[in-house]
Chains A and B, each alone.
Chain A
């Protein structure tokens, strides 16, 4: 009962914040204030994470120090999925509630999500060669991650191909929402099909990683998550400014034509 009340009050607070930030001017003011703090926190956590990963984490009894690849592969892969989930939610916000910053948030997250997905695939592949004996297999987890990369690239192509923001936003939002079906496929691919990829090690039923390996992993995950928030806010600010510049240029052309 208490948990439900806490969850409801948290959701109400989040809703208030989203409504407050619906005004681009207010968003610019708010993001300018919090960005230096977030940048500092992200740098500190990432430096501490790298220190733990390189100098403190022991080697795995089977993988040796190759386990260090996991400290970057796992945060990249989980963030790649979380960023897509954020894009899908923002796209719903844009399609249904026409939130003025929803399509800005969705568009700004695309290159970051694409780079993280690409890095998850490459680091996984570089881990796979010494551990599995191959860089790539057409396995359900790997293939669905590759599909995620193509979804990111497809959405970026839509934004580039259509000049009108509202039309591009609508087309990208529809594809993003439809593409969200890929997220449960990625998540449960290791359960539904026979896969070379190992199942999740952090589950509600328990954690199967030793604390010495889990701690650097979680610190790196937090560092990359903070970095994503910084990059996303910066990219959103750039997009808001770009639209202002375009609107001003358009007004100048209209005035000149009069």
Chain B
């Protein structure tokens, strides 16, 4: 098999890596954002409690 033939299904390979890249990045951002949001909420509630 030549190098050119070996890349015959390149579109399928790129599609797989792009899909995995997209979903794993989206999942990572969502989880990191969620943790930061909860932390912020907790701090805000703590500050409000202190004021009261």
Instruction: Show the binding face of A for B, using Cβ within 8 Å.
Output: 59, 61, 64-66, 68-69, 72-73, 76, 111-112, 115, 118-119, 122-123, 126-127, 129-130, 227, 231, 234-235, 237-238, 241-242, 244-245, 248-249, 252
Contacts and interface: CB of A to CB of B under 8 A. Distances in A.
Contacts of A234: 31-32, 35
Given A68-B13, A119-B19, A227-B24, 15 more contacts: A72-B17, A72-B20, A115-B23, A115-B24, A122-B16, A126-B12, A127-B12, A231-B27, A231-B28, A234-B32, A235-B31, A237-B35, A245-B42, A248-B49, A252-B49
Interface in B1-52: 1, 3, 5-10, 12-13, 15-17, 19-20, 23-24, 27-28, 30-32, 34-35, 37-39, 41-42, 45-46, 49
Contact of A241 (B9, B30, B32, B35): B35
Given A122-B19, A245-B45, A231 B31 contact: yes
A245 B46 CA distance: 9
Which of B6, B10, B12 is most buried by chain A, counting CB atoms within 10 A of its CB? B12
